[in-house]
Amino acid sequence: MTDITLPALKPARPFFSSGPCAKPPGYAPEKLATESLGRSHRAKIGKTRLQYCIDLMREVLQLPDTHRIGIVPGSDTGAFEMAMWTMLGARPVTTLAWESFGEGWVTDAAKQLKLDPTVIRADYGQLPDLTQVDWSNDVLFTWNGTTSGVRVPDADWIPADREGLSFADSTSAVFAYDIDWSKIDVATFSWQKVLGGEGGHGVLILGPRAVERLESYTPAWPLPKVFRLVSKGKLAEGVFKGETINTPSMLAVEDAIFALEWAKSVGGLEGLKARCTANAEALDKIVASRDWLSHLAEDKGIRSKTSVCLSVEGADADFIKAMTGALEKQDAAYDIAGYRDAPPGLRVWCGATVETADIEALGPWLDWAYAQTRAG
């Protein structure tokens, strides 16, 4: 490769992965509470810390009392599939897909549960026509498409008088946007996105209509133990009070508590949203000043403020691999290649745990890596 002058300033924290994401500023493992480690999660201290984590999530999300929130196995995927397996089949299903994770829910509904869903698709960078949705169906969608950088702009397209349930995969959306919880019957996420927590655990949010479905409908297929939310015809309320279905990692729980306490220290939900917006705007400025760089999602109204996907002029997968590899070798940016199923490009995480100054410092390094890769 031809040597091109390196930028003078590196991002102090070059962690731009879209999951697991950057740890909160000031994070260090030794700052975690450890009293619950090595103890039973059924002991008083375990239950207390699990309940505290649930209470913090409710507070920071501004989740109303109408909705339950609990910690479940399997990260966001496990939480969303738990909801699908326990509640789908009662009425027809519509699935929306505009990126790879939405396509995953299509596969689950069609090939695993064999529900013959109505599928409404859009290409990467686009959003489907949301007016096509028939709300007599249960509807599955991804609030923020992590692999395409496209999000729904709001919940206005979800009718208050819907017959079906709304299932929102919200893993890259919670703690970053306003969510009208009255429009959401089921939501799922995991700690490793906007909170910068650890993977492996999912979070399941249920509105009253979802609880009604669970208590009045029995699926035709068998349910594994880790999916069972009902006992003797009633919701297993303990799941939403810190009594997890199976053994959680208390280290991951303490890590999430640290992140949630940090979130409160920066202003709670409003502070987190402001940090995401500032980061996305800083990246927008970088893109706007470079003719070889563009947003995969051209419409700013549906563009993610967390998982921002970029197109590089003339770049194929090999070019992106070389470009991002050069950045990683210089410790200037980690893990910013686009998702494997997405069009070749870059993906820069702009969630709240990333510092705006680090996004700003990334610009000259993108110039360097682009020029270095072109020069060969």
Identify the pLDDT of residue 141.
98
Angle at 119 (CA atoms; ends 115, 123), nearest 5 degrees: 150
Q: What are the residues whose beta carbons fall under 8 Å from the beta carbon of 160, sequence distance 6 or more?
A: 182, 183
Q: For the packed helices 268-288 and 44-61, what is the interaxial angle rounded to 10 degrees?
A: 60
Q: What is the pLDDT at residue 118? A: 98
Strand 186-190 versus strand 166-169 pairing type: parallel
User: Which pLDDT value is given to residue 149?
Assistant: 97
Going residue by residue through the chain, which has 376 residues, state the pLDDT in tens, using 9 for 90 and above: 457 899 999 999 999 999 999 999 999 999 999 999 999 999 999 999 999 999 999 999 999 999 999 999 999 999 999 999 999 999 999 999 999 999 999 999 999 999 999 999 999 999 999 999 999 999 999 999 999 999 999 999 999 999 999 999 999 999 999 999 999 999 999 999 999 999 999 999 999 999 999 999 999 999 999 999 999 999 999 999 999 999 999 999 999 999 999 999 999 999 999 999 999 999 999 999 999 999 999 999 999 999 999 999 999 999 999 999 999 999 999 999 999 989 999 999 999 999 999 999 999 999 999 999 999 8
Strand partners, 203: 71, 189
Domains contained in the chain, CATH given: 29-264 (3.40.640.10), 267-375 (3.90.1150.10)
Please give the pLDDT value at position 2: 58
- In whole angstroms, give the CA distance from residue 293 to residue 363: 11
